[in-house]
Amino acid sequence: MARIIKETVRGIDIVDLEDELLQDREIFLTGGVDANSTNELIKQLMYLEREDDEAEITLYINSPGGEVTSGLAVYDYMTLMKAPIRTVSIGTAASMGALLFLAGDKRQMLPHTRIMIHDPSYANADMSGKKPHEIQHELDKLNETRQIIAQIIAEKTGKTLQEVYEVTANDTYYNAEEAVRFGLATEIIDSKSFGKGGKRV
């Protein structure tokens, strides 16, 4: 974990960089979406909302996606929060990473970042040895998850479910401009969005 030297009223302190950013209400999802990463994220969101339920929280996302159940747990929590949330794509927000990006009230992208959306899949699940009714049950659950994800995308983008299904049938990537046009992102961050020292104005 990165640490920085900071001058405080107590003198010179060495503090964790993530703790310093947390004080500025900036948190990160970098890497896969799983039980560990989402539990940590929920705890940070919970802490920041208890500190101030009116001040904006910024969530930076660079994630290839991951577990649907874990991702939807964070999505649900984010949409129930009183504090406004700004999501920023800083690399690639793919799959469940893209869905968490959509949870933001403001959804911003750096100029050369990408978003990828697609239907859920079984990944490496083994269907061998399963009976037909067991396979059908798994397919029914997968289609139910597909509908949940499509409804979220449709609600956030203003597209119809059919329009969403057409693009999520395959891995569909959007650059920043395309993401804004489709409704996935609300704006692209440029030099005018930042002041001196990288502080937002």
Q: Pick from 63, 111, 120, 61: which is nearest to 86 by CA?
A: 61
Is the distance from CB of 22 to CB of 15 less than 8 angstroms? Answer: no
- The two beta strands, 85-94 and 106-109, are parallel
Q: Is 193 a catalytic residue?
A: no
Tokens encoding 118:
């697609």
Beta carbons within 8 Å of 141's beta carbon, 6+ residues apart: none
**95 catalytic, yes or no?**
yes
Output helix, strand, coil percentages for the chain, rounded to the nearest 5.
45, 25, 30
Spot the catalytic one: 63, 70, 95, 112. Answer: 95
Which one of 118, 128, 133, 193 is the catalytic residue?
118
Instruction: Name the residues annotated as catalytic.
Output: 95, 118
